[in-house]
Amino acid sequence: MLRVAFAGKLKIMKTNGAHPGWHGLGVFMVVGWLVALGLNYQRPSGSAARPLESLVAAAELSREEGWFGLYLGGKKAGWLHQKLEPHPAGYRLLQESLLQVALDKITYQIKSMLTASGGKEGELRQFDLQISGPVEMNLAGLWHEGRLELSGAFHGEKFSRTLELARPALVELLLPQLLARQELAPGERYSVETFDPQNLVQSRLTVEVQGLEALKTTQGLRQVYRVKVLERNQQLWLDAAGRLWREESEEGFLLVREDEKSAQLLEGSAEGNELLRNLGKFLEGASRQ
C-alpha cells in the first residue's frame, strides 16, 4: 500500500564519524509512493472489528504483478512496479518505483527498490531496501528468533539496530491477498497486525469494506471492493482475487493500475504539497552536510 517511511523514528547506533546522519525531520524512504508524516497515529475505529489471522500461508498466495501510475494534483509524477512470486518454500516480493519531484525549480528523481522474502507460513524472513537520488540509502533486515536485525548506510554512514517483534510478521503489501480470502461484505470490519519494512513499524490496522463498485480501468469496467484503512483514512479498490486497482491517500496521492508502458510515461513532477515542502527542507539541509 502507499507508504513513505519517516526514518527519524529510528534511533540509530552510529558506527563511525561525528555526524549522526539522522535529522529531526527524518529520512523520507520513498518506496513507490508518499503518505504524510504522523502516518502511524492510531485513530479510533469506532466499533469492533473481526480479527484476522496475521499470516497467509505461501501456498494460498497468488502470483501477482502490476504497474501503477502515481498522480498528484492530476499530474502523473511517478510510477510503481510490484511483483509477488510464491514458491514451495515461501515467497519473493519485488517493489520498485520512481518519483519525480519539483522543489524550488529543481527537479529530482528519487528511485527505490524493495526486495523481500518470506517462509511457508507467509512470515517475513528478510528484506533489502535501496534508495537513490538526492537521498542515498540502503537498509537490510533479517528475521531471527523474534528479532529483526537491521543494518544499512545513509550517505555512506553505517548504522545498525535490533527490533524486537512479538510474533512473525505479515508484510503489509500482502494485505490485499489476505482480504481476498474473506467473504467481504459492505459494512464488515477486519483487524490485522502487519509489519511494513518501509518504515519499520508493526501495527494493527482496521479495514472497513465500504461497498462493491464498478470501477473504470484501462482494461474496462472491473467489479471491485472499496475498502478503507481507518487508521490512515486511506482507500483501496481491489478485486476478489486481491489485485489492487486503485488507491487514494488523504494527502492527495493517487495510485492507478496501468500497463507497463503507460505507467512509465510521466506528465510532470509532484509539487505544491505540504509533505513535499518538508521533503524540500530536508534535501536542502542534507545538501549542506
Contact present, 241 and 180 (Cβ < 8 Å): yes
Residue 144: pLDDT band with limits 50, 70, 90: confident
For residue 216, is it within any domain?
yes
- Mean pLDDT over 228-254 rounds to 90
Residue 239: pLDDT band with limits 50, 70, 90: very high
Q: How many structural domains are present in the chain?
A: 1
Q: Which of 145-159, 235-249, 259-273 has the highest mean pLDDT?
A: 235-249
Residue 212: pLDDT band with limits 50, 70, 90: very high
Looking at every residue in the chain, the average pLDDT score rounds to: 76
For residue 14, is it within any domain?
yes
For residue 54, is it within any domain?
yes
Sequence length of the chain is 289
For residue 103, is it within any domain?
yes
Tell me the whole-structure pTM to 2 decimals.
0.78
Contact present, 127 and 111 (Cβ < 8 Å): no
Write the burial class of residue 140 (CB in 10 Å: 0-12 exposed, 13-18 middle, 19+ buried): middle
Supply the pLDDT for residue 114. Answer: 92
> Residue 107's Cα: distance from chain center in Å?
23
| DSSP assignment string, the chain | ---EEEGGGS--EE-SSS-----SS--EEESSS---TTTT-----SS--EE--S---GGG---EEEEEEEEETTEEEEEEEEEEEEETTEEEEEEEEEEEEEETTEEEEEEEEEEEEE-TTSBEEEEEEEEESSS-EEEEEEEETTEEEEEEEETTEEEEEEEE-SSPPBBGGGHHHHHHTS---TT-EEEEEEEETTTTEEEEEEEEEEEEEEEEETTEEEEEEEEEETTTTEEEEE-TT--EEEEE-TTSEEEEEE-HHHHT-----B-S-HHHHHHHHHHHHHHT-
Q: Kindly report which listed range (125-129, 130-134, 250-254) carries the lowest average pLDDT score.
A: 250-254
Supply the pLDDT for residue 222. Answer: 94
Contact present, 177 and 64 (Cβ < 8 Å): yes
- Mean pLDDT over 23-50 rounds to 37
The pLDDT tens digits of the residues spanning 184-198 come to 899 999 988 888 777
For residue 240, is it within any domain?
yes
Q: What are the φ and ψ backbone dihedral angles of 51, each rounded to 5 degrees?
A: -70, 140
Supply the range of the domain harboring residue 95: 4-283
- Mean pLDDT over 172-177 rounds to 86
For residue 288, is it within any domain?
no
Residue 14: pLDDT band with limits 50, 70, 90: very low
The pLDDT tens digits of the residues spanning 249-289 come to 877 889 999 999 999 988 766 555 555 555 555 555 555 55
Q: What are the φ and ψ backbone dihedral angles of 161, each rounded to 5 degrees?
A: -165, 155
Q: Kindly report which listed range (119-128, 139-148, 159-168) carries the lowest average pLDDT score.
A: 159-168
The pLDDT tens digits of the residues spanning 40-82 come to 333 333 446 777 765 677 778 889 999 999 988 788 889 999 9
For residue 289, is it within any domain?
no
> Residue 200's Cα: distance from chain center in Å?
11
Residue partners of 282: CB distance under 8 A and separation at least 6: 23, 25, 26, 27, 28, 135
